[in-house]
Amino acid sequence: MSMVCLSDFEAYAKKYLPKIAWDYFAAGADDCTTRDENILAYKRIRFRPRMLRDVSVMDIRTKILGSEISFPVGIAPTGFHQLAWPDGEKSTARAARAMDTCYIASTYSTCTLEEISAAAPGGLHWFQLYIHRNRAASQQLVQRAEALGFQGLVLTADLPYTGKRRNDVRNGFRLPPHMKVKNLEGAFEVCKMSLLDPSVTWNDIYWLRSLTRLPIIIKGILTREDAELAVKHGVQGIIVSNHGGRQLDEGPATIDALVEVVEAVRGRVEVYVDGGIRKGSDVLKALALGAKCVFIGRPALWGLAYKGEEGLQDVLRILQDEFRLSMALAG
């Protein structure tokens, strides 16, 4: 099969992944309105292309929190990569390093932080954290990540409870017995996600800052009010995100929320966005509306399902080529 665009990888993954794994990755909350709107919102945005501009040389590199990446697309935190490919997050990390971009490793990885770090030494890795009732386990994870050379801490703010993903409920989703949530082994039963701490508030940013010197990026912001609070509490970055439409259904598409977040922060912190990016032109739209970088979630998993590390590199390379072409054609 000739893989020309990201939808080709999606079709492959849907056909060849076990149904329970596909349903888990594809799931949105409730009616999946927000999940689908993330994609549709990009389609409503139009370019105003400019002509006769010299586009013979283009530089698509950028920096996020001072680290240079080859183009403004990173890999968002998603869980359970071994459902897509046997090497799981190790392959994800290697692909990100090969393409010289950022990979945000999830708390709910099926490989340990140590395995991820060792698989791609020198790669740009951030660590995504859920705060659990077991604060000691969360503290240990943060300190392990920093000791291993992870360069950013991404706090997910939009999951005090898990959204209702209907197919997961119907399927009784659990990890297969041979897979483990490696970073939390022995801490508690994770798959039920019943020990997430719903009492987390903005004051917990100060707690995190007491634990680590890593820059803190907060993920899950959708309003100007929360963007202003994020800046007030001293974070270094914001990821505009609705968790891929997996949490509160009928919230805003992330590309729509991006505009008010960018206006609110007024350049005081870097702003990124995830959700719904399927083409290089989507990347250009997000940057034009103020994002410093975008992060992809499901497309990375489709690439893994297709051919592991090589498949994910293909996904990133297609986005890179499409982004460069869109820049040129838009002038």
Annotation-wise, does 276 bind a ligand?
Answer: yes
Q: What is the spatial distance between Cα 65 and Cα 84, in angstroms, rounded to a whole number?
A: 30
Match 């799981």 to its residue by tokens.
88
Q: What is the spatial distance between Cα 135 and Cα 139, in angstroms, rounded to a whole number?
A: 6
Annotation-wise, does 128 bind a ligand?
Answer: yes
Annotation-wise, does 106 bind a ligand?
Answer: yes
- Whether 46 contacts 282, CB under 8 Å: no
Annotated catalytic residue: which of 81, 125, 132, 243?
243
Polymer length in residues for the chain: 331
- Whether 30 contacts 164, CB under 8 Å: yes
DSSP string computed for 172-185: T----TT---GGGT
Annotation-wise, does 156 bind a ligand?
Answer: yes
Annotation-wise, does 219 bind a ligand?
Answer: yes
178 is catalytic: no
DSSP state of 248: S
Annotation-wise, does 62 bind a ligand?
Answer: no
Annotation-wise, does 277 bind a ligand?
Answer: yes
- Whether 156 contacts 128, CB under 8 Å: yes
Annotation-wise, does 186 bind a ligand?
Answer: no
Annotation-wise, does 297 bind a ligand?
Answer: yes
Annotation-wise, does 78 bind a ligand?
Answer: yes
**C-alpha closest to that of 294 among 58, 128, 101:** 101
Annotated binding site for FMN: 77-79, 106, 128, 130, 156, 219, 241, 274-278, 297-298
Annotated binding site for glyoxylate: 24, 165, 243, 246
Annotated binding site: 24, 77-79, 106, 128, 130, 156, 165, 219, 241, 243, 246, 274-278, 297-298
Catalytic residue set: 243
